[in-house]
Structure formats: structure tokens, C-alpha cells
Structure 1
Amino acid sequence: MKKVLAVVGDFYHNCDLIQQSLNDILSPLMAEGVVQLEYCETRLISESLKEKPDIVILFAEDRVDPQNEPELRWMTPEISKQIAEYVDQGGAWIAWHAGMASYDEDSEYVKMLRGFFVHHPSENIEVTYHPVVNKSIPGTETSSEVFSFLDEHYFVECDESNTNIFLRSSSQDGEAPAGWFHTYGQGRVGCITPAHRAEGLLHPSFILCMRDLFGWVAKLTE
């Protein structure tokens, strides 16, 4: 059984809704006894990593109180380095939506992700997600069907030459990478930008897409 540590929810993202989405994503694997899911807060990540979880999923931005104290961050350079070393030594990491937001672009953490959030339109808009033809996640049968919902359209910087883009996004405001994966040392990293609202987080096509990414990162597929 693989231990999954999930760190979800922040000032702008409802913890209960994200947990509902993640439970839907992992429910078949939990029912089969393949994974065990635990949650923790950002302030406990450093101590939790010492217990060597098999997979970590981060859906939380770096800013602790973005409206009142925008410079207050939880990820110190020491924690950033600890995370990168954890993955390099064989761990697995998924940066989900806010898990790429407001982190230091020069940090070991962002270097490990090979991409980071830049901006999104002020209003939620219709975003269409396009699986990349012939770039599906290894060991999966990722659907080629596009799917759309009202969402924050994340625009990102991504080192596309050093990762594998399996999902792209488009809206009235442009196009952007929306999902990518790569190895990092002995470990694996996956990044995915949707979703912000319930209709996206609970959308069946997104659930399947996220489940495929988790399977590869967790080494359940090859």
C-alpha cells in the first residue's frame, strides 16, 4: 500500500471541495487497498516528509495570508530544498493548481516542477482542456476527448523542452500548458493547472485525467 500525503486548501481554495475531488480521484485505488490517503497542513510538511510518504499532493499556494500579509510565506528555502531532495531520492510529487502559485521562481521547488503559475484572468471564464495527441501519460489510455468548464485559466511559464506536456488549455484569452510530467532524479513529478471551481474539480473528465497522472507519478503504471 502506498501512503499519499495531501496538503490542500488555502485562503482562496476551499479545503472541503478539494478533498471531495481528491477522494473521487483516488476512491477506486483506496477501495482496492492500493493507497492510503492522509491530509496535513502546510506548516507540517517538513516533519511529514521525514516519514517518507510515497506520494505528496500539494494544492496550496505559498502565501499564507495574501490579503493582509502578502509577503508572509510558508515555504522557506530549507523546506524547498527538502522537497527537492525527497523527490530526487525517489519520492513522488504532484503540484495541483495552487501548488504552483506564488512560489519563488528561483527556488529548488520551482526548478523541480519546471514550471510555475504566472497569472489568470480576474474573472472565471470558459476554459477548454485539450489532451495532447500522442503525448498521453505512459501506462494509461488517456482519452483524447476535450472537455470544458468555467475555471480560472492558469497561464504558466513551463520549460517544455525538459518535461512532457500531456494537456493544454485554451480560452478567449489565449493558450497555455495545463499538464506535464517528468522524472526528477529517482523520483517523479506531475503538474496540472485545473481546477478552481466545483464544476471543474468534480468534472468526470478531469477526475479521469487526474487519476491517470496520479497513476504514473505513483509508479502504479509505467
Structure 2
Amino acid sequence: MHDDVPDSPTPGRSALVVRGGWDGHQPVEATDLFIPYLRDNGFDVRVEESTAVYADAQVMAGVDLVVQCMTMSTIEREELAGLIAAVEAGTGLAGWHGGIADSYRNSADYLQLIGGQFAHHAAAMGPDERTGEQSDNYVRHRIELTPAAAEHPITAGLSDFELTTEQYWVLTDDLNDVLATTTTDVRPWGPWNRPITCPAVWTRQWGQGRIMVCTPGHRVEVLEDPNVRTIVERGLLWAAR
């Protein structure tokens, strides 16, 4: 594996896109946004609408990159074991938002693999003003790059930027290499009493495999933000074997 994203496509690699779960995250539309990019960069792309493929050791042995967009849902033990084994052997794993950071809430092993779990997104207004729509949680917030981001191939050349969308509060560990953070402010109606800073973009080495997580990406319009799209596209190439 190389430390940098390739300057030109590497032919003959295989990408597996696994998508599904909660429809609110637009798993089909969101992954369709990046499939042409993968193909342009030399990947043969296979799309699966369930996690059953993870249990197929023969298929997984030939996969160089898994792009997962599967919010919540569940995963069978043998499927998760197959995914973990593939990553440990060198298959890259990448994704965004709930499609990777809020998958399979019933699995501690998955949480350990990814290194971060969605816990909350604070509402933009008080309880009396909420409508019950997704937009209740759309808040203007800043994505701040860490010093490490300046030299990393996923984030080099990017600057801090702002988004109006869900702001993920995630639970993480320090095996992650954090490239960007975001800080959830105190809310007058919230039970926390100081600002909370969480990783927004991180990478993780697990065995021989690389993992990339970008928490912005609630819907297609967020993924189309130039900063978010750049991070995801570079992250896919960086994570791939």
C-alpha cells in the first residue's frame, strides 16, 4: 500500500458498494454519486443491496474497497466476521454519515472496527418549535481541520468550512487519526453544559486494511458540497488496497 492517493487510475481493482438501511439517507442516490468516480479511477464496481455478500469469503478476498452506505439495520454474525476478516487482510472500508457511523447498532465488534458511533445530532431549535421533520436537526456548524490534515492526501489543500445539515456527535476512541472535528454548542434546552468537540473525519488502520469515515453526508446535497465531495472521493482512493 502507498501513503498517497494515486495520481492516475490504477486499473483492475474491485470496489464493492453495499447500500440500504434507512431511506432518509438516500443510500441509492448517495452511492450513485460516487460510482462513476470509482469507475473513472479504474475500479470494477459491484453493487449489493444487502450485507449478505460479506459472508462470501471468495468474493471478499478479491475486493480492494468496500463503500458502505447502510444506516442502522442489522448484520448477521457471519457477515460481520467476513467484513472484518477482509479489512484485516487489506480490503479498504470507507463511507459517510450514518451509512458507516450508525450501522448495526447491535454489534460491538462493528463499533470497534469503525472506531466511532453516532450518538446524537442536536436540534437547531427548542422543543416547542420543532416540526418532526429532518430539518429540525439542520444547524449551521463548522468543520475544522486538524494540523495533521494539512499533510494528509485526503485533506491536503483544504480549509475549514461550514455546513448547514446534521452535526454528528460521535463516540470514538484514540486509535483514530482525526483529520477534522466539529464542536456542538451548548443548547439552552439541552442537558450538556459545555461545548462538545467530536471527530468529523477520521482514518483508522485495522490489520492491513484502511478505514475512512466522513460524518457529513446526510443527503445528496451535502455530499455535493465541494469540500465534502473532495474528502469522500479522496478517502475512497486512500482507503483502497
Normalising by the residue count of structure 1, what TM-score does the alignment of the two structures yield? 0.80
Q: Is structure 2 residue 121 aligned with structure 1 residue 120?
A: yes
Task: Note the alpha carbon deviations across 1:16-53, whole angstroms, 9 max, x for none.
Answer: 43034324xx52x5235x22222111243335553121
Root mean square deviation of aligned Cα: 2.4
Q: 1:97 to 1:36 in 2, by over 3 A?
A: same
SS of equivalent to 1:121 = coil
Distance of 1:147 and 1:139 partners within structure 2: 18
Per the TM alignment, residue 143 of structure 1 is displaced from its structure 2 partner at its CA by 2.5
Q: 1:198 to 1:140 in 2, by over 3 A?
A: closer
* Aligned position for 1:188: 210
CA contact (8 A) 1:4 1:54 kept: yes
Q: How does 1:62-211 map to 2 (within 5 A)?
A: 62-63=72-73, 73=74, 75-98=75-98, 99-104=100-105, 107-122=108-123, 123-136=137-150, 138-139=152-153, 142-160=156-174, 162-172=175-185, 174-211=196-233
Letter in 2 for 1:164: D
Q: 1:45 to 1:128 in 2, by over 3 A?
A: farther
* Aligned position for 2:239: 217
Q: 1:193 to 1:166 in 2, by over 3 A?
A: same
CA contact (8 A) 1:133 1:144 kept: no
Per the TM alignment, residue 4 of structure 1 is displaced from its structure 2 partner at its CA by 0.9
Task: Note the alpha carbon deviations across 1:56-88, whole angstroms, 9 max, x for none.
Answer: 01111232xxxxxxxxx3x12332222111111
Per the TM alignment, residue 141 of structure 1 is displaced from its structure 2 partner at its CA by 5.8
Per the TM alignment, residue 214 of structure 1 is displaced from its structure 2 partner at its CA by 1.6
Q: Figure out how many residues of one structure are paired with residues of the other and give that number.
A: 204
Normalising by the residue count of structure 2, what TM-score does the alignment of the two structures yield? 0.74
The alignment-based identity, stated in percent, is 20
Q: Is structure 2 residue 24 aligned with structure 1 residue 15?
A: no
* Aligned position for 1:57: 67
Per the TM alignment, residue 142 of structure 1 is displaced from its structure 2 partner at its CA by 1.9
Q: What 5-or-longer segments of structure 1 have no aligned partner? A: 64-72
Letter in 1 for 2:181: R
Moved more, 129-138 or 197-206: 129-138
Letter in 2 for 1:91: T
* Aligned position for 1:5: 16
Look at both structures and tell me which one has the larger radius of gyration over its CA atoms.
Answer: 2
Distance of 1:55 and 1:105 partners within structure 2: 24
Q: What 5-or-longer segments of structure 2 have no aligned partner? A: 1-11, 124-136, 187-195
Distance of 2:116 and 2:183 partners within structure 1: 18
Distance of 2:34 and 2:55 partners within structure 1: 22
Letter in 2 for 1:85: A
